[in-house]
Amino acid sequence: MSIADIQERAVLATPQAHAATAPTIDAIIAALRTVHDPEIPVNIYDLGLIYRIDLKEPTAVDITMTLTAPGCPVAGEMLRWVETAVLTVDGIDHVDVSLVFDPPWDKSRMSEETQLELGLL
């Protein structure tokens, strides 16, 4: 799933009645970009670790994410980092972060810019 697909799905999940006052997906993505994978010097959004952003209510968001490796030593901490970052978005007061390993993460989930930056393209 590409970053554009995530953004499109997230926008479709936004309740239309609250669109004018609800936090934007772009603001949530900007907050996610402040969280960096400790082993790869890139933010988790551009690494492709975020699988889903779903605005449930005007002030609540569900995030589904993965890790680059199931045995990541900071897995629990990273979930808290994501929650803390997204709670900085104006209008968000509840964040649920779910960790999944299916589908597994691979380098193809990275943004093209990130792949270029890391010398993978």
Domain extent, residue 46, equals 3-117
Give the total number of structural domains in the chain: 1
Q: Using 50, 70 and 90 to split pLDDT, how confident is the model at 61? A: very high
Distances (CA, A) of 116 to 44, 50, 71, 92: 16, 19, 26, 33
Which helix (DSSP H) or strand (DSSP E) does residue 32 occupy? Answer: helix 25-32
Q: Is the pLDDT of residue 5 over 80?
A: no
97 with 77: CB under 8 angstroms?
no
**pLDDT at 18 (0 to 100):** 42
Q: How far apart are alpha carbons 54 and 11 in whole angstroms? A: 8
CA dihedral 80→48→46→76, nearest 10 degrees, is 20
66 with 105: CB under 8 angstroms?
yes
**pLDDT at 1 (0 to 100):** 55
Highest mean pLDDT among 36-40, 53-57, 80-84, 110-114: 80-84
| Digit-coded pLDDT (tens) for 28-59 | 999 999 999 888 889 999 999 999 999 988 89
Q: How far apart are alpha carbons 90 and 4 in whole angstroms? A: 23
CATH number where 104 lies: 3.30.300.130
Q: Using 50, 70 and 90 to split pLDDT, how confident is the model at 7? A: low
